[in-house]
Amino acid sequence: WSIHLLSKHPRVQQKLKAEVTGGLVSQDLSMDRLDSFVYLDCVIKVVLRFSPPGDVVLRTLTVDGRPPNSGAQLFKGDQIVIPIHTLARDSQHWSISPDLFDPERFLGKDKYHHPYAFIPFDGGRRQCIGQDLSRFELKVIIARLIQHVTFGDGGPVVNAGDHLTRLTIMPKYVGVTIEFN
Ligand code: HEM
C-alpha cells in the first residue's frame, strides 16, 4: 500500500525522500536517525489511515448495555462491528477532509484527532500485540526504499489501486515505475 500510495502522491514522496536522505552521503539508519524521521511517522500513519490492512474487527457482547448517547439497546451475545476503515474516513472526526492523503495533518490540525477515529491496530485490551514491531519494520523498510528509489505512477489502469478482501485488505492493481537514484 505504501508503494502504491507514494507513487500516486509524488509531492509526499519527494518530501519523504528529502527527510530520509537528508542531503547526507551516509545512508546510515541508526536508531537516533530513525527517531528523527518525523515526517516518515506521519506517512506511515496516513497510509494506515487510507488503507488499514484490517478494515473491521468484531466483538461479542458479554453483557446487555446501552452505548452512551445512542439510544440503542444492545444484548449479551450481540456481535458489534468496529469499522476501522469507515472511522478513519468519516469527516465528522477529522478537521481536514479525510479524503486527502496529507501526512502533515498529523503534525497540524488533526494532531489531536479523536483517539478512536484512527485505530488500524484496534484499541483496548485486545489491540494488536505486534503494533510497535510493525511500525518499526515499516519505518525501516520505507526509509531504505525511499533512500534508494523513486516510485512513479504506472498509469490509471495498471496502477488503479482498488482492493482485494482476503485475511487482510490487499491492493489489487499496483503497477509502478522504479527509478534508482
Ligand atoms: C501493519 C501490520 C498489522 C496490523 C494493521 C495489525 C492489526 C491488528 C488488529 C486490527 C488486531 C485486532 C484484532 C481484533 O481486535 O479482533 C490485531 C491483533 C493482533 N495482532 Fe496485529 N496487526 C499487524 C501486525 C502484527 C504483527 C507483526 C504481529 C506479530 C508479531 C501481530 C500480532 C497480533 C496478535 C497476536 C493479535 C491478537 C491480540 C489479542 O487478541 O490479544 N500483528 N492486529
Indicate whether 166 pLDDT > 80: yes
Indicate whether 24 pLDDT > 80: no
In a domain, 67, yes or no: no
More confident position, 116 or 25:
116
Mean pLDDT calculated for residue range 114-121: 96
CA atoms of 46 and 48, how far apart (whole Å): 5
Mean pLDDT calculated for residue range 19-35: 86
Q: Could you tell me if the CB of 57 is within 6 A of ligand 1?
A: yes
Q: Could you tell me if the CB of 126 is within 6 A of ligand 1?
A: yes
Mean pLDDT calculated for residue range 69-80: 94
Q: How far is the CA of 54 from the centre of ligand 1 (A)?
A: 9
Domains: count for the chain:
1
- The cell numbers describing 164, all together, are 482485494
In a domain, 17, yes or no: yes
Indicate whether 23 pLDDT > 80: no
**Cell match 476503515: residue?**
85
In a domain, 157, yes or no: yes
Single-letter code of the amino acid located at 164: L
Q: Name the pLDDT band for 154 (thresholds 50, 70, 90).
A: very high
- Please report, for residues 2, 8, 84, 146, 179, the alpha-carbon distance to residue 48 in angstroms, rounded to integers and kept in the order given: 9, 15, 10, 18, 25
The dihedral built from the CA positions of residue 116, 118, 124 and 126, taken in this order, carries a sign that is positive
Q: How far is the CA of 28 from the centre of ligand 1 (A)?
A: 30
Q: Determine the structural domain holding residue 176 and report its residue range.
A: 2-53+85-115+127-180
pLDDT of residue 117: 96
Mean pLDDT calculated for residue range 78-84: 96
In a domain, 60, yes or no: no
Q: Could you tell me if the CB of 53 is within 6 A of ligand 1?
A: yes
Q: What is the pLDDT of residues 133-151, one digit of tens each?
A: 999 999 999 999 999 999 9
CA atoms of 59 and 80, how far apart (whole Å): 5
| Residue owning the nearest CA to atom 9 of ligand 1 | 121
In a domain, 24, yes or no: yes
In a domain, 120, yes or no: no
| Residue owning the nearest CA to atom 21 of ligand 1 | 128
Burial 51-86 (b: 16+ CB within 10 A, else e): bbbbbebeeeeeeeeeeeeeeeeeeeeeeeebebbe
Q: Name the pLDDT band for 25 (thresholds 50, 70, 90).
A: low
Query: For the chain, what percentages of helix, strand and coil (3-state, to nearest 5) are there?
Result: 40, 15, 45
In a domain, 160, yes or no: yes
In a domain, 62, yes or no: no
CA atoms of 180 and 173, how far apart (whole Å): 22
